[in-house]
Amino acid sequence: MKHPAPRANATSAFHFEAAKNGRLVLPYCEACAKYHWPLRAHCPHCGSADPGWRVATGAGAIASYSLVVRAVNPELKDDAPYVIAFVELDEGVRLFTNIVGARPEDLHCGMRVQCRFEASMDPELWVPVFAPASELNQLHMT
Protein backbone atom coordinates (compact mmCIF):
# COMPACT_ATOMS: atom_id res chain seq x y z
CA MET A 1 0.00 0.00 0.00
CA LYS A 2 1.57 3.28 -1.16
CA HIS A 3 0.10 5.84 1.20
CA PRO A 4 -1.07 9.35 0.35
CA ALA A 5 1.62 11.60 1.80
CA PRO A 6 1.27 13.56 5.02
CA ARG A 7 2.08 17.23 4.45
CA ALA A 8 5.72 18.17 4.77
CA ASN A 9 6.30 21.03 7.26
CA ALA A 10 3.11 20.16 9.11
CA THR A 11 3.01 19.87 12.91
CA SER A 12 3.72 16.16 12.96
CA ALA A 13 6.29 15.92 10.15
CA PHE A 14 8.95 14.75 12.63
CA HIS A 15 6.82 11.69 13.39
CA PHE A 16 6.78 10.72 9.72
CA GLU A 17 10.45 11.55 9.13
CA ALA A 18 11.39 9.23 12.01
CA ALA A 19 9.20 6.52 10.52
CA LYS A 20 11.43 6.56 7.44
CA ASN A 21 14.27 5.52 9.77
CA GLY A 22 12.21 2.75 11.30
CA ARG A 23 11.42 4.55 14.54
CA LEU A 24 8.02 5.29 16.07
CA VAL A 25 8.38 8.65 17.80
CA LEU A 26 5.58 10.32 19.72
CA PRO A 27 5.15 13.60 21.61
CA TYR A 28 6.45 13.11 25.16
CA CYS A 29 6.26 15.48 28.11
CA GLU A 30 9.43 15.41 30.27
CA ALA A 31 7.63 17.27 33.05
CA CYS A 32 5.01 14.60 33.73
CA ALA A 33 6.68 11.67 31.94
CA LYS A 34 3.70 10.91 29.72
CA TYR A 35 3.18 10.44 25.99
CA HIS A 36 0.30 12.07 24.14
CA TRP A 37 -1.18 12.06 20.63
CA PRO A 38 -1.88 13.99 18.46
CA LEU A 39 0.88 16.54 19.08
CA ARG A 40 -0.37 19.48 21.14
CA ALA A 41 1.04 22.91 21.85
CA HIS A 42 0.89 22.06 25.56
CA CYS A 43 0.96 18.70 27.31
CA PRO A 44 -2.72 17.69 27.67
CA HIS A 45 -1.91 15.95 30.99
CA CYS A 46 -0.03 18.69 32.89
CA GLY A 47 -0.11 21.78 30.64
CA SER A 48 3.67 22.07 30.23
CA ALA A 49 4.76 23.91 27.11
CA ASP A 50 6.72 22.50 24.20
CA PRO A 51 6.51 18.74 24.67
CA GLY A 52 9.43 16.84 23.11
CA TRP A 53 9.53 13.59 21.20
CA ARG A 54 10.50 10.11 22.40
CA VAL A 55 10.79 6.70 20.75
CA ALA A 56 7.93 4.36 21.62
CA THR A 57 7.96 0.55 21.70
CA GLY A 58 5.40 0.22 18.91
CA ALA A 59 3.54 -2.47 20.84
CA GLY A 60 -0.18 -2.15 21.37
CA ALA A 61 -3.64 -3.57 20.87
CA ILE A 62 -6.43 -2.92 18.35
CA ALA A 63 -9.01 -0.57 19.90
CA SER A 64 -11.30 -0.56 16.85
CA TYR A 65 -11.08 -1.30 13.14
CA SER A 66 -13.05 -1.21 9.91
CA LEU A 67 -12.66 -2.61 6.43
CA VAL A 68 -12.72 0.08 3.74
CA VAL A 69 -14.28 -1.65 0.74
CA ARG A 70 -13.91 1.21 -1.73
CA ALA A 71 -11.07 3.70 -1.47
CA VAL A 72 -11.99 7.37 -1.76
CA ASN A 73 -8.38 8.46 -2.29
CA PRO A 74 -7.54 7.80 -5.94
CA GLU A 75 -4.02 6.74 -4.89
CA LEU A 76 -5.46 3.80 -2.95
CA LYS A 77 -7.96 2.51 -5.55
CA ASP A 78 -5.98 -0.66 -6.20
CA ASP A 79 -5.26 -1.33 -2.53
CA ALA A 80 -8.91 -1.66 -1.42
CA PRO A 81 -10.18 -3.45 0.53
CA TYR A 82 -7.89 -2.47 3.40
CA VAL A 83 -8.23 -2.13 7.15
CA ILE A 84 -8.17 1.18 9.04
CA ALA A 85 -7.89 1.05 12.81
CA PHE A 86 -7.19 2.76 16.08
CA VAL A 87 -4.36 1.06 17.96
CA GLU A 88 -3.97 1.67 21.70
CA LEU A 89 -0.25 1.71 22.35
CA ASP A 90 1.24 0.40 25.58
CA GLU A 91 2.44 3.98 26.10
CA GLY A 92 -1.21 4.99 26.59
CA VAL A 93 -1.89 6.82 23.32
CA ARG A 94 -4.28 5.92 20.49
CA LEU A 95 -2.97 6.00 16.91
CA PHE A 96 -5.00 6.06 13.70
CA THR A 97 -3.42 3.54 11.32
CA ASN A 98 -3.77 0.57 8.97
CA ILE A 99 -3.60 -3.07 10.02
CA VAL A 100 -1.49 -5.05 7.54
CA GLY A 101 -0.31 -8.63 7.30
CA ALA A 102 -3.58 -10.17 8.44
CA ARG A 103 -6.87 -11.31 6.97
CA PRO A 104 -9.64 -8.88 8.04
CA GLU A 105 -11.78 -11.77 9.31
CA ASP A 106 -9.00 -12.79 11.72
CA LEU A 107 -8.91 -9.39 13.47
CA HIS A 108 -10.58 -8.57 16.76
CA CYS A 109 -10.60 -5.69 19.25
CA GLY A 110 -7.90 -6.24 21.84
CA MET A 111 -5.65 -8.14 19.41
CA ARG A 112 -1.97 -7.47 20.09
CA VAL A 113 -0.20 -5.67 17.25
CA GLN A 114 3.30 -4.37 16.54
CA CYS A 115 4.38 -1.31 14.56
CA ARG A 116 6.10 -1.50 11.20
CA PHE A 117 6.67 1.16 8.56
CA GLU A 118 5.55 1.78 4.99
CA ALA A 119 6.47 4.38 2.37
CA SER A 120 4.20 7.25 1.39
CA MET A 121 4.10 9.15 -1.90
CA ASP A 122 6.64 11.53 -0.35
CA PRO A 123 9.96 9.60 -0.17
CA GLU A 124 10.99 11.53 2.97
CA LEU A 125 7.84 10.74 4.95
CA TRP A 126 6.93 7.16 5.89
CA VAL A 127 3.91 6.08 7.93
CA PRO A 128 3.63 3.72 10.91
CA VAL A 129 1.26 0.79 10.32
CA PHE A 130 0.58 -2.24 12.51
CA ALA A 131 0.60 -6.02 12.05
CA PRO A 132 -0.49 -8.76 14.41
CA ALA A 133 2.27 -9.48 16.92
CA SER A 134 3.12 -13.07 16.07
CA GLU A 135 4.71 -15.33 18.65
CA LEU A 136 7.99 -14.78 16.84
CA ASN A 137 7.67 -11.00 17.19
CA GLN A 138 6.96 -11.35 20.88
CA LEU A 139 10.03 -13.57 21.35
CA HIS A 140 12.17 -10.90 19.71
CA MET A 141 10.79 -8.26 22.03
CA THR A 142 11.59 -10.12 25.26
Partner 1 sequence: MVAIVGIAELPQGRSDLPHTMALHQRLAEMALADAGLKLKDVDALLTVSPRSDSYLIHADGVAEHLGIAPEVTWTVEAGGAAPEAMVDIARGLIGAGRAKTALIIAADMPLGGVTRNAYVNTLAEVGPVHPDLERPYGPSVPSMFALVARAHMQAYGTTPEHLAAVAIQNRRAASRHPNAHYREEFDVAAYHASKMIADPLRLLDCAPVSDGGGAIVITSAEHARHMGVKHVNVISAGFSSGHMHLSGAASLTAFGAGTALDRALALAHMSRDSLDMAMVYDCFTIAMLVNLEDLGFVAKGEAGPAFLEGCFEPSGAATQMPVNTHGGLLSHGHPARAGGMGHLIEAVAQLRGQAGDRQLDKADTAMVHGMGGVFATHGVLILGRE
Residue 136 CB, shortest distance to partner 1, in Å, is 25
With CB under 8 A as the contact rule, the residue among 34, 38, 102, 117 that binds partner 1 is 38
In the stretch 42-61, what mask flags binding to partner 1 with x, by CB under 8 A?
Answer: --------------------
Distances (CA, A) of 5 to 48, 56, 91, 105, 136: 30, 22, 25, 28, 31
CB 52 to partner 1: min, Å? 18
The residues binding partner 1 (CB under 8 A) are: 1, 3-7, 10-13, 16, 37-38, 63-76, 79-80, 82, 84-86, 94-98, 104, 109-110, 120, 127, 129
